[in-house]
Structure 1
Amino acid sequence: MAARKSTGTSGVKRKRESSKLEQKGLKTKTRRTSAGDQEEDPQTAILHLESQILESRRHYNNIATLLHSAKQYGTENERAVLAAVALCRVFSRLLAAGDMTKSKGMQESELVIIRWLKERYKEYQNLLLEQYLRSETAPTQSVGLTLLMRLVKEESQAQKDYHWKQGPLYRIVETILYQPEEDSIRDEFAEKYFKEYADVRFYTFQSITSLLGSDFEEGERRFVSANSLSLLMMLNTVPESKEDMTNFFSGSLKKSNDLKTHKEYAQQAWLSTLRSGLNKDQRKAILSVFDHQIAPWFPQPEMLMDFLTDSYDVGGATSLLALSGLYYLIRVKNLDYPSFYEKLYSLLDEGLLHSKHRSRFFRLLDTFMSSTHLPAALVASFIKRLARLALHGPPAGVVVVIPWIYNMFKMHPACTFMIHRETRDPELKREIEEEGMEDPFDVDERDPMLTEAIESSLWEIEALQSHYHPNVATLAKIISEQFTKRSYNLEDFLDYSYNAVSNGHSCVYHVTNFSSFLMWN
């Protein structure tokens, strides 16, 4: 029995030794194969390092290894991007688990680890901001932005009292504002985050205001301001109620969920941008979308008055667009601006009917003069001034003035005395016929309420009935006929060139609709 026991034991020992050797050889072989695969396959190597970090703190040094790989972009592009993405997953899990947060009663050894992790986390953020987000290639920038915004989300969800300004978002906005104007990363940020999420939009407004409040050199300020303007102009809709702000990037809502506060921060961002210096083209771009993209953001629209007044002083089409903005504030926001029509009247100069902006001007003028509550004296000044300009205007300009005057007479009947004024005193009538009379209209008066145009007559229109261009002469006769038509659609006359008027058929047809005026065709 002893021999059997000894033999059995001996056999077992030999079997176990053989098994250990086989296993040892197998493990050694596997390790070598795996190492070879890792050298050939960056993804496997990166995933292996990441899994080790998540398994045990003993492998936290792998974070430094991954950081080193992520910094090698340009020489080992694929491995660098894979390492950057892996680090994002690692830090996201550490943030969610609270492994980077200090608490009371922690041992010094724990605090040392947390400090080290925070240093690596800061190093990682700097890498994404300075190397990836500032890259010259759009795909790398996109990777950097996506990873940084993932960190913003993880931080805001992990911390109850999250301070957005101290997180990555502020630096993301700063980096974007310092990028070249044609850079595509600004568009991507706007489309994916700024326009999409109410909280991101809210804190971006805050970041813009803070950044533009910093000290800049003049050239640098204009550069950052231009990028800020480009970003803000991408917001083509304005929330009108809380129901319009239901999409949030994080769980940290607070002020960003309040519509009034939301618009107050938007107002501050816009004012900071507008006050940072704008060129003529930028002003025109802003004024072109003023009514629906900018003014609705302002809880205090009177804050825009200075900008609009300064824009008016630029001259040309910019002045006209500025008046359009002022009119919106007067009509929609009930703001008082007594000198509005005085400024509008001052735009009726010798170059108006020759201007390439003539059509735009008359469209807006038609809107500005649409109220039936305007004083007759004021309306008469505009009628008289345009009639005087028509004497020296091109035919294409005159054919706009005449139907516009017709419409004004229909809308403001009190002004028709200008075409029906007769002198009943025979002696005075004889004197006027022999010697003529002085026109009471003061062409040099800047205030349309003081020109005495209402006391004058429209002899200019009668003079146009003898215009050298037969089409203009025919059109001018509508003022002498009975006002049987309600009004004319000004759009039918706005875009005629000299050649179009020379061809004449459609132009006169739109104006008259009277058989007597079609005879000449």
Structure 2
Amino acid sequence: MPPFAPKAVNGKKRKAIPQEEPLHPKKSKSSPSPPHESIPELEKAISESRKHYNNIVKLQELAFPKNTKAKPSTEAVIALCRVFCRLFASGSFELPKNSGKSEISIVEWLEGRKREYNSCLLAAFSQDGSYMSQAAVIPLAMRLVAAETSAVGESRWRSGLFSQLVRHLIIGGVHSEPARSIFTEEYFTAFDDVRYHTLQILQDILKNDASNNNELLSPVIELLLSLDEPPTEDEDLDSFLSASSKAAKSTLQSVKKQKKMVEQTWLSILGLPLNKKQRKDILRVFVHQIIPWFNRLERLMDFLTDCYDQGGETTLLALAGLFHLMQEKNLDYPSFFEKLYSLLDDGLLHSKHRSRFFRLLDTFMTSTHLPSNLVASFIKRLSRLALYAPPSGVVVVIPWIYNMFKRHPATTFMIHRVSRCAEETEEWETYGAEDPFSMDEQDPMETKAMESSLWELETLQSHYHPNVATLAKIISEQFTKESYNLEDFLDHSYNSLLDVELEKDLKKIPVVEYQIPKTILHGEAGDQNLGALLQQVIAVS
């Protein structure tokens, strides 16, 4: 970056800086900058000669004053960033071969000033806060990281400022959310080398710190969930923050190694004790954002089966991941439909997760090669649950059952079962037919649903809600409609059903008696007005 041009003072040219004898930076004592030396002038002098390195101390005093009454200078903070970037670019932090003690002392002194500057920048992430906003610190810190790693090498990603920055972003928790958001959007997801080295540091944090501190897992999960699907070709990995990253082609420009790094980080997280919210956050995007990064999908089976044992929505989300592995990756999970069937309980149609469940259930039951006994058990059990469900739940069950009949015609005889002989007909008319279906059976292949009938749907045709009754009658009609779009019925509630009724256009205006009668009885009692009758009632009571 070009140095600042000297400014004129009071309309006159600035006097040349007097030539002083070179001072040893370590032994020199910093003093307040003269009034005529502005921040750009101090910065320019450092670029001109090593003898002015002491100006770094002066800029630090302006940027981070020890006197609490003094006002910090943001301009000085930015100037220091430019100074250190120039020093990295010029090789001032590198020791030539056969360097003398003087050279070693100067480099060590510069390293000390840089560490002080880094510490002051990272103070913005402390609990006490800092006069500098986190939004301003992230670009400055990442600019230094780019200069440092480009000049010194790849090793500085894990041993320099970048490692400290990532740790502060994670350990800061809620306090670091603004900065973490900027880092995620502008650097972590934008640069391939930043992502790779961030994941390395996250693995160190998960190994050493997060095992005893569950709060550290949430920001780590938040970072990883920001990743989209991985690139498909090595040529797609071409976005690097550091110049040295372009030379590391074997690692950073390999899709396989990038995916392996993400996979190892996820496995480190999944092996730790997660709370309920963290499990749900992971499972919601499991299929689209996590599975594509894995080369060995069998490593996810233990986590998914463990999530199933949690119950509730966690179980449902875990089944979605298991089904994807079965369908797309040919993984064997024999008890999948048994676990799915066990979720059909009394609270399902009353649950707030009803819509999500039926979306997934419709996906799980898509195959036309499922056994008829299995499909019949799902149809029969949901029909029975619909008898106790609210109208908003029933209007989902009936279209779903209709679609199942269209996909599996072998189950349609459940709609109306006829007797096999005259004796059976007489028995049914006398004592009634006994339903062989067992609601307590956990194995959907053993419920005897195929031997039953859907008398529940005929009962729903007399439902108190007219929409439910009308919809239930489709089972008694010819199946001429191809299938229902389930999305049209999933988001119904009491409010939506009421709004539909209120918004209907009335074909015939109902007759309403809007005039208050003078009398309410005929005959002798009717001669009295309404007020007198009320007074008599009050007196008797």
Q: Does 1:227 align with 2:219?
A: yes
In the alignment, is residue 286 of structure 1 matched against residue 277 of structure 2?
no
Structure 1 100/493 Cα, relative in aligned 2: closer, same or farther at 3 Å?
closer
Alignment CA distance shift 1:184-1:153 (3 Å)? same
Aligned partners of 2:377 and 2:447 also within 8 Å: yes
Tell me the residue number matched to 1:144. Answer: 137
1:210 counterpart letter in structure 2? D
Distance 2:489 2:503 in 1: 7
Which residue identity lines up with residue 151 of structure 1 in the other structure? L
CA contact (8 A) 1:418 1:457 kept: yes
**1:248 counterpart SS class:** coil
Give the RMSD, CA atoms, in angstroms: 3.1
Report the counterpart of residue 178 of structure 2 in structure 1: 184
SS of the equivalent of 2:38 reads: helix
CA contact under 8 A between 1:445 and 1:451: conserved in structure 2? yes
On the 8 A contact 2:81/2:140 being kept in 1, the answer is yes
Would the alpha carbon gap of residues 29 and 449 (structure 1) be closer, same or farther in structure 2, given more than 3 Å must change?
closer
Residues 142-168 of structure 1, C-alpha deviation per residue, up to 9 Å, x if partnerless? 332222211211122113554421122
Corresponding residue for 2:234?
A: 242
2:197 counterpart of 1:214: no
Aligned to 1:430: 426
Q: What residue number does 2:83 align with?
A: 90
| 1:440 aligned partner | 436
Distance 1:138 1:344 in 2: 55
- The answer (yes or no) to whether the contact 1:359–1:494 under 8 Å persists in 2 is yes
Residue 7 of structure 2: aligned partner: none
CA offset at residue 499 of structure 1? 5.8
Do the aligned partners of 1:381 and 1:448 also contact (CA within 8 Å) in 2?
A: yes
| Structure 2 partner of 1:155 | 148
Q: 1:76 offset after TM fit, Å?
A: 4.1
Specify the alignment match of 2:43 in structure 1.
50
The answer to whether structure 1 residue 419 and structure 2 residue 411 are counterparts is no
Which stretch shows the higher mean deviation, 276-285 or 379-388? 276-285
Higher fraction of helix: 1
- The worse-fitting range, judged by mean Cα deviation, of 129-138 and 375-384 is 129-138
Question: Is 1:379 matched with 2:375?
Answer: yes
Give, in whole Å, the separation in 2 of the partners of 1:238 and 1:506: 50
Q: 1:500 deviation in Å?
A: 5.0
Q: 1:139 to 1:58 in 2, by over 3 A?
A: closer
Deviates more, 1:408-417 or 1:293-302: 293-302
Instruction: Judge conservation of contact 2:125–2:169 (CA < 8 Å) in 1.
Output: no
Structure 1 residues 29 and 153: alpha-carbon distance in aligned structure 2, compared to 1, 3 A threshold: closer
Matches within 5 A, 1:1-150: 44-72=37-65, 75-79=69-73, 81-131=74-124, 136=129, 139-150=132-143
**Structure 1: runs of 5+ lacking an equivalent:** 1-25, 509-521
The amino acid that maps onto 2:208 is: S
How many pairs does the alignment contain?
Answer: 474
For residues 118-149 of structure 1, what are the alpha-carbon distances to aligned partners after superposition, in whole Å with 9 as ceiling and x for unaligned? 22222322222235777736853233222221
CA distance 1:31–1:258, change in 2 (3 Å): closer
For 1:62 and 1:503, the matched residues in 2 are separated by: 73
Aligned to 1:181, the other structure's residue is in SS state helix
**For residues 226 and 131 of structure 2, what CA distance do their matches in structure 1 show?**
19
- Aligned mates of 2:391, 2:13 — CA distance in 1: 96
Provide the secondary structure at the position in 2 that maps to 1:240.
Answer: coil
Conserved in 2, the CA contact under 8 Å of 1:400 and 1:493?
Answer: yes
Deviations 1:240-289 (A, max 9, x none): 33344221111214212211111111122223334444333333333332
d(CA) in 1 for partners of 2:198 and 2:446? Answer: 50
Aligned partner of 1:204: which letter?
Answer: T
Distance of aligned partners of 1:236 and 1:434 in 2 relative to their CA distance in 1, 3 Å threshold: same
* Counterpart mapping for 1:294-333 below 5 A: 294-333=290-329
Amino acid at match of 1:192: E
Quote the offset at 1:217 in angstroms: 7.3
For normalisation by structure 2, the TM-score amounts to 0.79
Q: Quick one: structure 1 residues 505 and 27, their matched pair in 2 at CA, closer, same or farther if it must change by over 3 Å?
A: closer
Structure 2 CA distance, aligned partners of 1:502 and 1:27?
82
Matched residue, 1:166:
159
Retained in 1: the 8 A contact 2:229–2:293?
no
Matches of 2:167 and 2:288, distance apart in 1: 27
- Identical columns (%): 52
Q: Corresponding residue for 2:257?
A: 261
CA deviations over 1:378-412 (Å, ceiling 9, x no partner): 11110011011112222222222112111101101
Q: In the aligned structure 2, how far is the partner of 1:115 from the partner of 1:109?
A: 10
CA distance in 1 between counterparts of 2:14 and 2:403 reads 97
Q: Deviations over 1:2-55 (max 9, x none)?
A: xxxxxxxxxxxxxxxxxxxxxxxx9999989xxxx97667xx533333333333
| Letter matched to residue 71 of structure 1 | F
Corresponding position of 2:192? 198
CA contact (8 A) 2:123 2:129 kept: no
1:450 maps to 2:450 = no
**1:477 paired to 2:470:** no
Bigger shift: residues 480-489 or 383-392: 480-489
1:397 and 1:507 map into 2 onto residues whose CA distance is 21
Corresponding position: 1:459 with 2:455: yes
Residue of structure 1 in register with 2:25 after alignment: none
Residue by residue over 1:162-193, the C-alpha shift from the partner in whole angstroms, topping out at 9 and shown as x without a partner, is 44211221111100012241531111111211
> Are the aligned partners of 2:229 and 2:292 in contact in 1 as well (CA < 8 Å)?
no
TM-score, scaled relative to structure 1: 0.82
Deviations 1:71-106, CA, capped at 9 Å, x for gaps: 228644453x33332332232222222222224322
> Would the alpha carbon gap of residues 29 and 448 (structure 1) be closer, same or farther in structure 2, given more than 3 Å must change?
closer
Runs of 5+ consecutive residues of structure 2 not aligned to the other structure: 1-11, 19-31, 505-541
Of the structure 1 ranges 202-211 and 498-507, higher mean CA displacement relative to structure 2 is found in 498-507
User: What code does the residue aligned with 2:214 have?
Assistant: R
Match of residue 350 from structure 2: 354
**Residues 507 and 328 (structure 1 numbering): CA distance in 2 closer, same or farther, change over 3 Å?**
farther
Q: CA deviation at 1:326?
A: 2.3
**Counterpart AA for 2:260:** E
